[in-house]
Chains A and B, each alone.
Chain A
């Protein structure tokens, strides 16, 4: 190979992929980053929406990592294609609705396409054997390489010494002796390496970077599929699952109740697409109604909406209901908090 070898790194915004890219740069490889947007990414959204998170940095960590490394980052929208991974994962789900193994195979496969289109030589990831229970195991790592089609053009610099040599190693594009043999769940080796490389600031998202690993979120998605009688979704559906309190008092409708001002403001953008209600006699949250509620359902929803406003202890609360551009006002007794069945809360 005459020119510098070129690698594309899957950059999540976390420490491991940052280190993997850095190791390659140190070996003289030209590295560019690729980051996939599935719609389920935790990245920034809730911080951008929720008022109480206003103080948290709103940076996109993948972009931030790329800038620290001095590499280009290509962010790819895979929302539509990703649906089949979430809806029908060939390797099944993890503890929640997280199709981690299928997800990794899909992303590495997309990276392989990108490599071919852009004249790059190989793919790197920050995977470490044993780091994650589903996708980062010694027996699943070859599955990812094989089923993605990347085969031996997939290099994992942090644990390469525990795996057979890949094409970049055999061809001498990278020096295997300067790769690493990390394994297990411990983060200590990565943290020590970061320190050695002078990397002090990095994201450490608790529970990973995908909402599908979150139990509460997965429950809401399963409820959505059950209520609609089909396993499908649109981007707005999965965005709304990240926001507010979700209550399903009846099978034919659910309520999305903003928990604070930032969420209310965000839900305002969806008002036109939903029946919605707002307390008028007291301060309270905007509530969207998803589904097909009847008259009695709306009165029940209004009582529940009243329970979440500042008039929760009042005898009556005035609630404005907007449906098909028609606005009406009802006076209801707030639903007593202790009478809300637990199974209504999704």
Chain B
């Protein structure tokens, strides 16, 4: 807390705040390192870490630019990215409102229960009346406050002539409250304040869980989103460079694109030769050489050497804009999906309401007075009010999504889990999805143990994409970095250093083959390392597991036909290559009209429309921002296994949800006759409700181990 107040006390007028995403924070040491060391840089006043969101708020001198702060992070050994301006949007406010409503309902419920216990245990006369009045005094403001989420949503549904779960809930709560007030005013025997408030409490708990799940996934995904390529270093007339956001870029500006950076806009190369990776844009896996005069597109990334690019198009007529248009159209079909809870409500609400009406009419005909008939009708409404139903879905989904989160899969919301369970065919993109989408060395076995240590130490010192790929590959094979002296990186050439007196270097290799390559120098010895995009480690296992679950796989790739076909043969699945974003979309539509529920797994910008159009979609954490936002779930790490786990867990979740529903309905079958017979007292209602809610939650908790 001390750090926090220090930031607030600082002279706010002269300082500006910026938020940065730092995915690399893993431990307490990272927190203290950032919070202590960052303010030591000139111009930075304070830093405050939010570890859960992997975000750092930096208070700094406005003269200090974003890139200077990023460099400060880099010096501390952290990769940081500027976070979006409004990181905690409305969703967070909404979930806080729900938690507050839960707290108020919980407070009301406990106090009213306390009073009810003495009424149930036989208080009569003045005592009972006073306790009823006291209950009313607590219940009315509590219902008015905590009931708002339901009332608002029910009103909205009714206004559009529809019905959802909130309609029967609202009617039940309001009628129970009205009846209880009437009972209290006339000195009657039964008041249902406790039932009404308890109902709100359990249902709000379900809602709050649901909101918490969505927020957790969203903050996880925003921590993954790369903000590279969202802007560019533009060269000023005087030769200096400044950072400009992508939306402010204009034609004829000249930008410098470093190795490893993504292009923010379309343009023509004016100097520098390099290799360009278009896989995000087209699915083509082979990096392409590019030199002065060539046109390069936004979304592609620069692999080997810095280039300067003159911009030719503005944001609206870039190559990406076409993909964005396709995505807008594709996203509409998914919004037609109706969640299982609302589907249940569609059947449930009319049934409950007509049952209550029938009870009222029945007792009137049978000769009971209108008062007694009304009491019984309301008792039917309360007892059937879907406490367990309201918890049945969110409780199961929250537990399941937490379990999936632990194995590296972020599911964006409950509807995504429901749709995952329905999937019956999987379409995979190739580059970046089945493969790592990163150049990895293919001839590592030419390196001896010493060479490996040296190569790892050198590769770790560089941010070049080939070095990153080399470092990742060596680390995964268990190499430990050798101790080197005098490590220095020269942009465009490589990294050099000294190992036991020998000069060593990792540098650009003379061109010789299709693959990008680098060269390791140890003294006089040279080893040429070739790089290519390789398959993710568990692809075959994942496909087999999906097959087991009854999902057949297909590869739809934007890469060349022969590359896609040969991979398809290796993996034993049908593969189509050379597919444009529109063609992927058509393929999905065709599957959908055949009655399939396709799951799309893809990463590139060119997969964006397909991810948005598929029945459900998953993107890897290395995917483009657009794809991560379009996808229903994102998995992190190199393994593809979370895809199969997601399907299995989603199906288990639906099984539990159905059990919960069956239980809730079974309980109604038992309780409704009691209510119809006029035997339901507030005591019976309270026991029935809390009992059924607890059983539903306990049943859902069984999912906690499902993702293992």
Is the pairing of A and B real?
no
Give residues in A with beta carbon < 8 Å to B. Answer: none
